[in-house]
Amino acid sequence: MRGIIFDLDGTLIDTAQDIAIALNRALEDEGLTTYSIPQVVAMIGNGAKRLIKDAVGTDDKDILDRVYARYRRHYLDVLTLNSKAYVGVHDLLRELNRRDVPISVLTNKPEPDAQEIIRRIFPDITFATVTGGREDVPVKPDVRAGEYVSEVMNMPLSDIVMIGDGRADVNFAINAGMQMIAVSWGFSTKDQLVSYGAPCIVDNAIDILSIIDNL
């Protein structure tokens, strides 16, 4: 039986509005330029520190550290204020649990934030692990980001299907030799997913079941 690793932002949950709120509050605190939600979406996917660097547009460590600390505080205030599961995702996860398919979350979002969001939005779903960005581990697309998940699931990454919506997810799957299913409802367009090299793109969450059945 294959296991499944899900990305979080843009795959399981639409978190864009809350991330944008926290980011803009942090930028405003420092008198810096703020961004629209679509502009923030274009920067999501490579972890919170990269988000801050892209938004601030500097390599000045002092400024980046201040904005990052403010962002983390503000994000905790709005963690699930507007965030919600995408249509059909909760039903998909329930069915995977019913079938005893091992599932995990691997995100570049800071791990404490990821775990709390999953706890609030999917309280009835069992995940083998919810693993996020850690200080001592590279983020996706580096294969090392998934080593802990592989250990917890007790199967090699090559026996696990990666499901995500971004370049980092596609490249992670390619680097790890994983089957990959990209979702069209997230933070990348279909054209972008094709350009990233996504081998399979779905428009509806429930369609993932039939694809997995045939892998």
Taking CA 49 as the corner, what is the angle to CA 78 and CA 26, rounded to the nearest 5 degrees?
A: 45
Quote the DSSP letter at residue 181.
E
Quote the DSSP letter at residue 189.
-
The strand pairing partners of 105, in sequence order, are 6, 130
Domains 3-14+84-213 and 16-77 are alike in CATH topology:
no
Residue 38: its pLDDT value, please? 96
pTM of the model: 0.95
**Does the structural domain 3-14+84-213 have CATH classification 3.40.50.1000?**
yes
Domain ranges in the chain? 3-14+84-213, 16-77
Residues in the chain: 215
Question: pLDDT band at residue 215, thresholds of 50, 70 and 90?
Answer: confident
Q: Which amino acid is at 103?
A: I
125 φ, ψ (degrees, to nearest 5): -105, 135
Q: Give the DSSP H or E segment for 105.
A: strand 103-110
The 10s digit of each residue's pLDDT in 152-174 is 999 999 999 999 999 999 999 99
pLDDT at 62 over 90: yes
- Report the distance separating Cα 166 and Cα 60, nearest Å: 27
The strand pairing partners of 160, in sequence order, are 3
Note the CATH architecture for domain 16-77: Orthogonal Bundle (1.10)
pLDDT at 11 over 80: yes
Q: Are 56 and 64 in contact (CB under 8 A)?
A: yes
- Report the distance separating Cα 60 and Cα 185, nearest Å: 35
- Report the distance separating Cα 200 and Cα 202, nearest Å: 7
Closest CA to 52 of 118, 7, 11, 109: 109
